[in-house]
Structure 1
């Protein structure tokens, strides 16, 4: 009964704004409060933070504390509620992270599917070109040949190579733009 009386008298002083009494209250409950939070959270740093947070709230709300009620129950109920709120927040955060990862995976798969579809469209558009334009285009794009090199290979003028490439690229642009609409 002596402990309750001393806690009760300390609480009366805390309610009146006595910081030294608050320090006594903190020292008295710090270790059991920490062990309780650690048991619930399994995280030492978060348990320490939670004990500090609950005592900050107690100081801020000290005028609403009833010293004749069981402070021990009040404190540990506050800690339990804070721990449960924290755990819900962690669970929600992990759920959001998982949803984000799932979405990123599906976006990546969709992009791969889109890229495959675009490549098929491009190949179909290239196949629709005349044989001469197709050869000139492939020598330029895949072979990396210059207009001059293509002209020499095919024994045509450099100007013809340039014109055929411009027309081939125009046909491809039109077919791909139409297909993507």
Structure 2
């Protein structure tokens, strides 16, 4: 496979989509198994493999067929998986801190539901249209990341990132408004 892999990579570099499809099919299963072993999440692993191959296609002109493509691919996958896990830990830590803060909040005028609703509505309206749309589809519409991604024709990771950013902004604006 080493010699034909080199030819295949050269074809991919030249923009041959059929060759890229062959490259993808050759590496898909081992790449998926590798990601699942790190993430323990089949769906997220599939998204990650797709994202890495999209990046490879977009940056195909930078591929050096003389170097070890196998090593390059799995290093990219490992780095992306570790970044994802770090982000997941960070989100869990933020959620935990928020819950701890909420336990120590003293009852006062900020518990007035009408005031809280107005503050929340103002904060939501300050979001960009796309971010607001994604947030409302998720929170009010009860849609999953995958459903939102399909509906808006964007990646599941984009949905996830936009929701994380929207919720972070809302937290900051609400905390500021209620202080």
Pairwise TM-score range, normalised by the shorter structure? 0.5 to 0.7
Where in structure 2 are there 5+ consecutive unaligned residues?
112-179
Inter-partner Cα distance in structure 2 for 1:6 and 1:50: 26
Partner of 2:67: 69
1:27 aligned to 3, 25, 28, which one? 25
Where in structure 1 are there 5+ consecutive unaligned residues?
116-181
Alignment of 1:7-18 (within 5 A): 7-18=5-16
TM-score by length of 1: 0.59
Instruction: Report Cα offsets for 1:40-63 as digits up to 9, x if no partner.
Output: 000000000000000000001100
Inter-partner Cα distance in structure 2 for 1:99 and 1:84: 22
1:53 maps to 2:51 = yes
Instruction: Report Cα offsets for 1:74-120 as digits up to 9, x if no partner.
Output: 0000000000000000000000111111111111xx218xx9xxxxx
Inter-partner Cα distance in structure 2 for 1:43 and 1:13: 33
Partner of 1:99: 97
1:82 maps to 2:80 = yes
Give SS of 1:72's match. helix
Give SS of 1:111's match. coil
Give SS of 2:104's match. helix
Inter-partner Cα distance in structure 1 for 2:103 and 2:11: 59
Partner of 1:146: none
Stretches of 4+ moved more than 3 A in 1?
none
TM-score by length of 2: 0.60
